[in-house]
Amino acid sequence: MPVVELTVNERAVRVDVPGQWTLIQLLRDGLGLLGTKEGCGEGSCGACTVLVDGRLTRACLALAVRADGARVTTIEGVGTDAALHPIQDAFVRHGAIQCGFCTPGLVITTKALLDEHPWPTDHDIREFLSGNFCRCAGYNLILNAVRDAAGVVTEKR
Ligand code: FES
Ligand code: FES
């Protein structure tokens, strides 16, 4: 069985993975990191989004063995047990979490957005989040949360 060595949320890990496993299987079944959710399983919904070497990645499509040597950030790596990240805090305060299934992917995507566009326009936000579906259709609440988080995160820089 192939062995994959990678860094997940700043922690070096070594995992035996069946060759056909995807990155989401490595994270959830191999490492027990259950924050990343699988929705469609075919690259369409964005629920499984993580950062791989800083790039937004659909973990349901990425082969686990291809992550060898990569740096992966999942929702568990955003914020700490003691304090929510400002993006998470904004999602909670704006009620942008309904069923919450899409939320980890949305938070990760928002993090990538704010890393790239510290002062995003509504157009930037809509463009960046266009691949993340919320089946509860809470898009206005999500937009408000991201606007709010952008202000807070950017002010702290
Ligand atoms: S579960 Fe990966 S994009 Fe839907
Ligand atoms: S809160 Fe996004 S799918 Fe329900």
Model confidence pLDDT, tens digit, residues 25-55 = 999 999 999 999 999 999 999 999 999 999 9
- The arithmetic mean of pLDDT across residues 76-92, rounded, is 94
pLDDT of 91 reads 96
The 10 Å Cβ neighbour count of residue 43 is 13
Q: Domain 3-77, CATH 3.10.20.30 — does that match?
A: yes
pLDDT value at 9 more than 90: yes
pTM over 0.85: yes
Q: What is the mean pLDDT of the chain?
A: 94
Angle between helices 103-116 and 139-155 (to 10 degrees): 40
pLDDT of 114 reads 95
**Domains in the chain: boundaries:** 3-77, 86-155
CATH topology of domain 86-155: DNA polymerase; domain 1 (1.10.150)
In one-letter notation, the amino acid at residue 31 is: L
* Mutational pocket test of ligand 1: of 37, 40, 50, 57, the residue with most ligand atoms within 8 Å of the beta carbon: 40
pLDDT of 157 reads 57
pLDDT value at 145 more than 90: yes
pLDDT value at 80 more than 90: no
pLDDT of 88 reads 96
Kindly give the distance from the C-alpha atom of residue 92 to the centroid of ligand 2, in angstroms, as a whole number. 13
Which residue bears the tokens 């949360």? 145
- The arithmetic mean of pLDDT across residues 85-101, rounded, is 94
Ligand nearest to the CA of 102: 2
pLDDT value at 154 more than 80: no
Kindly give the distance from the C-alpha atom of residue 149 to the centroid of ligand 1, in angstroms, as a whole number. 24
pLDDT of 103 reads 96
49-58 long-range contacts, CB within 8 A, separation 24+? 49/104, 49/105, 49/108, 49/109, 49/131, 49/132, 50/23, 50/74, 50/108, 51/108, 51/111, 51/112, 52/23, 54/112, 54/115, 55/112, 56/108, 56/109, 56/112, 57/23
pLDDT of 156 reads 62
pLDDT value at 6 more than 70: yes
